[in-house]
Structure 1
Amino acid sequence: MSARQLNRAAGTLAASVLADSAVEHYRGSFKNKAMFTPLAVAGLTVAMSLHGTRDMRAAAHRTRDASYLLAAATGLLGTCFHIYNVAKKDGGFSWQNVFYGAPLGAPMAILLSGLLGFCSERVRGNGRRRPQRVFGLPAGETIATVTALGLLGTTGEAGLLHFRGAFHNPFMALPVTLPPIGAGLLAGAALYGGRRTRRLAHGWMRLLNVMGFAGVGFHAYGVSRNMGGWRNWSQNILDGPPLPAPPSFAGLALAGLAALELMREARDG
């Protein structure tokens, strides 16, 4: 069921945010008490996504709806906080501050998690009606658009950090080349919707899903190359490449697969 697939996508993104923000905000010593907020909200979103994945009923759930909206609002406010954090530093939006200040795009992951989760409840609330609709728009095309934009934004964040790392490993080019192609394929499927385009987009989403989880392994290797390797894990996890970040691509790929399935049902069913 596409709704449960979207619940899984929202949960994967939220889990990535939970782990990543825990590490990053711990490194920042939680000096602002608001830094606990994304941990609590992401944890709640993971719990709601697990509940939705297990829920077989074809009806929207009010508690899940509220938690997903809370996640979206938290992501929006977090983005404003991070922009303010960078802007208040000496030099403002300089490359130095953008590289080493609060990551500007990171809170958007919990915003996307909330949006995709909220869309999952709208799809579920449609029941067996065809075609499925979200906000009065075709569900598959709407979710594909959100996912494509999310892939581009996540690519921008990965590109900034990998540029900071000078792309010293050729595999660092993958997160800045494969996802934009996937975004283009999703956009093409939404605009033109031919079976061949959808099949190609489907295969590419599978590839991005694998890339997202494989990226954890590459980042773990990056941690091991720091002084002391994993024997000095408490320091190197904080200073090395972020282990929880790559699965955000996997979460968006799951959302893309759900969008393609909704389009298939609407156009071929």
Structure 2
Amino acid sequence: MKRRVAPVRVEAAVHPVVVLAATAVAAGILTWFAAGRSKPLTRATEGRRFSPRGRAVTASAAQRLNHASTMLAASVLFDSGLEHYRGQFFNRAMYTPIVMSSITLASSLHGAGDTDPGSSRVRHGVQALAGLTGLIGFGFHTYNVGKREGGYSFQNLFYSAPIGAPMALTLAGVLGVVAERVRDADPDEPRLGGLPAGRSLAVATAGMLAGTTLEAGLLHFRGAFQNPAMFVPVTLPPLAAVLLVRAATKPEGANQAGAKWGMWAVSAMGVGGVAFHAYGVARMMGGWANWRQNLIDGPPLPAPPSFSGVALGGLAALELIERSRIRF
């Protein structure tokens, strides 16, 4: 009697993170192609004829807004990936921001290369969905903090889900939506919600800087501001926000050099913040030799560029203000 041998099963062990990364990349590529090819600047929008200079101004501002959305989406992609990997994706919803930020990143990159003054329905829809996803994530994080023992105490705000982090995806979506609205606006008098586009965007961007500062301030307060450089993200952005609001209230033709320098300073701070966070990782036990642990437990490397993204939105607002022919 022959002995029966159980069939041999060959299974390919694929890490879940690899599957997630592949899904995110595939979603981004599909979004890119769904948005269509970039169109030349010489085409008119829906039969309307505007001056080339007017079209160039709104297209340039829209592209700058897409650059801002791109930087914010990239920051969310890598930051949420690290943070949710640390949480072992115990909730299925934790996969959402990674896929959504990948789609938003692809959409924003596509818009950044599109010089046509007309908007894209696909990009507009993707960016709006990103904004909504960020708001839902904010609700999840708020609930996560509140359900812990002690409620909304500093202890829980410090060590549970970062309450303000999902709003970065909302900001990416908002700036992306504004980019599409600016593309479709009257180049001679671009407006958002019935208000002058540049001035209303400047005030909104100032609010974004204030919110991002609160999130950075909470985490740096947790770190006891042990490095004096940790005071920069809680002092420079509010000053730049004040300059933006002041720029929105200045009379037509006024010099906006101060606000521009403020935005460029915040943008540089965001990029430089990555280097400071990398230094923080190096100071942890094992340094970069123990990168698998220290990248997760140390200062978040992808977080500071969110300031740069918001600052680029401020520069787009200033560009629209300088070329505006009407007052707020």
| Structure 2 unaligned blocks of 5 or more | 1-59
2:113 pairs with one of 49, 54, 75:
54
Which deviates more from structure 2 when the two are superposed, residues 84-93 or residues 136-145? Answer: 136-145
Please tell me whether the aligned partners of residues 210 and 241 of structure 2 are also in contact (alpha carbons under 8 angstroms): yes
Given the alignment of the two structures, is residue 81 of structure 1 paired with residue 140 of structure 2, yes or no? Answer: yes
Counterpart of 1:234 in structure 2 is 292
Q: Root-mean-square deviation (CA), in Å? A: 1.2
Match of 1:16 among 60, 64, 75: 75
Displacement after TM superposition at 1:109 (Å)? 0.6
User: Unmatched 5+ residue regions in structure 1?
Assistant: none
Asked if 1:203 corresponds to 2:245, the answer is no
**Identity across aligned pairs (percent)?**
55
Amino acid at match of 1:240: G
Shift, 1:204, TM fit: 0.8
Offset at residue 57 of structure 1 (A): 1.0
Matching residue's letter, 1:147:
T
Alpha-carbon distance in structure 1 between the residues aligned to 2:294 and 2:253: 46
Question: 1:216-269 deviations in whole A, cap 9, x for unaligned?
Answer: 00000000000000000010011110000000000011000000000001049x
1:186 aligns with 2:237: no
With the length of structure 2 as denominator, give the TM-score of the two structures.
0.80
- Cα deviation, residue 197, structure 1: 5.5
Match of 1:132 among 171, 174, 190: 190
Decide which structure has greater helix share: 1
Q: TM-score, normalised by structure 1?
A: 0.97
Distance 1:209 1:93 in 2: 32
User: Residue 225 of structure 2: which of 133, 158, 167 is its match?
Assistant: 167
Higher relative contact order (CA 8 A, sep 6+): 1
AA of the residue aligned to 1:103 = P
Aligned to 2:215: 157
1:7 equivalent in alignment to 2:70: no
Q: Matched residues in 2 for 1:90 and 1:142: separation?
A: 41
Give the Cα–Cα distance (whole angstroms) in 1 for the partners of residues 81 and 193 of structure 2. Answer: 33
Letter of the 2:281 counterpart: V
Higher CA-based Rg = 2
Question: Partner letter of residue 63 of structure 2?
Answer: R
Name the structure 1 match of 2:158: 99
TM-superposed deviation, 1:145 = 1.6
May I ask how many residue pairs the two structures share in their alignment?
A: 267
Extract structure 1 runs of 4+ deviating beyond 6 A: none
* Cα distance in structure 2, aligned partners of 1:258 and 1:155: 20
Aligned residue type for 2:220: H
Give, in whole Å, the separation in 1 of the partners of 2:123 and 2:320.
Answer: 21
